[in-house]
Amino acid sequence: MRKAIYVFSILLLGLSCFWFFMRKNYNSEAIPNMATEVQKEEISLQESSNLIEEDYRVRRDDVELVGVLTADANYKNEKRPLLIIAHGFNNTLENYADYAENLARQGYVVYRFDFYGGSQASKSGGTDMLHMSVLTEKADLEAVINQLSKEKFVTGDQVTLLGASQGGVVSTLYAADNPERIHKLALVFPAFVLFDDVAQTYARLGVKSVNDLPDVITHRNAQLGSIYLKDALSIDIETEMKRVKAPVMLIHGTADEVVPYEYSLQALKLFSDSQLVTVEGGGHWIDANFNETALPALEEFLGE
């Protein structure tokens, strides 16, 4: 009997020590880190020389988004990582054909599309631009990612985004809300200035509240709907940038008069994992001189 009591006491002491050790080392401070850490997928890139372009359309409610896939000619029988290009304000997918080709040669399935209402020449409709905002474009981008991610020729659950100008803002907003879906984020002269621009236009209109905004507003030499101002004014962009977990590359020219270079210098401080590629003398457009710096930097960043 004494021997049984002795053994039981030893077991009880051992369990008590184990419980104390686990309680000490598995503290509450470790839990948030486990919850917020985003696992970055490893991607495999296989270079391509034989490329094709194909029309590809995405449904978002009653909107049909028109776009183009650029990929290896055999892409439907393979699995490749997905890269999506988001165009800028009053631009179209046609402005980024060179980028699509270069990145598809690197091994990506590249998709570029027209945002609904994104320009007066949008193939996706809404060419009066009265129903477009950064949040409607974010909804477009989300629909594109959701549909393409389910395709058999796309590998992994994460996507790489390349956003230019306003498309860079839209890509940032999506990345902030969906950190687990983003592999990398490349931003070409991202238009973070638009929030200051919108605040100035709102002040100039002299209305008492956003509910008093006129239906049609002249902003950045374009006729836009009040939704453009309302949605932008509802966003704290610095908070959103701090929420992005993916690696970020900013590419910006020092002579940009539309989005001053200083906005990317500020963004560099707000993103948690970022780098800035400076294009000396570069403006707010993509040309051969801009790409001489931008394309090699992009290819290196997206190939890592």
Contact predicate 87/118, CB 8 Å: yes
Contact predicate 185/249, CB 8 Å: yes
pLDDT of residue 5: 41
Structure tokens at 132: 């477009």
Q: What is the pLDDT of residues 253-302, one digit of tens each?
A: 999 999 999 999 999 999 999 999 999 999 999 999 999 999 999 999 99
**Average predicted confidence (pLDDT) for the chain:** 88
Q: At residue 41, does pLDDT exceed 70?
A: no
40 or 55: which leads in pLDDT: 55
Q: At residue 17, does pLDDT exceed 80?
A: no
pLDDT of residue 45: 77
Q: What percent of the chain has pLDDT over 70?
A: 86
Rounded to two decimals, the pTM is 0.86
Q: What is the pLDDT of residues 59-87, one digit of tens each?
A: 999 999 999 999 999 999 999 999 999 99
pLDDT of residue 10: 44
pLDDT of residue 4: 46
pLDDT of residue 102: 95
Q: What is the pLDDT of residues 147-159, one digit of tens each?
A: 999 999 999 889 9
pLDDT of residue 146: 97
pLDDT band for 44, please (50, 70, 90 cuts): low
Q: What is the pLDDT of residues 100-129, one digit of tens each?
A: 999 999 999 999 999 999 999 999 999 999
Place of tokens 């509802």: 234
Q: What is the pLDDT of residues 156-198, one digit of tens each?
A: 889 999 999 999 999 999 999 999 999 999 999 999 999 999 9
pLDDT of residue 275: 98
pLDDT of residue 16: 45
pLDDT band for 46, please (50, 70, 90 cuts): confident
Structure tokens at 185: 């984020």
Neighbours of 94 (CB within 10 A): 12
Range of weakest confidence among 33-42, 128-137, 197-206: 33-42
39 or 170: which leads in pLDDT: 170
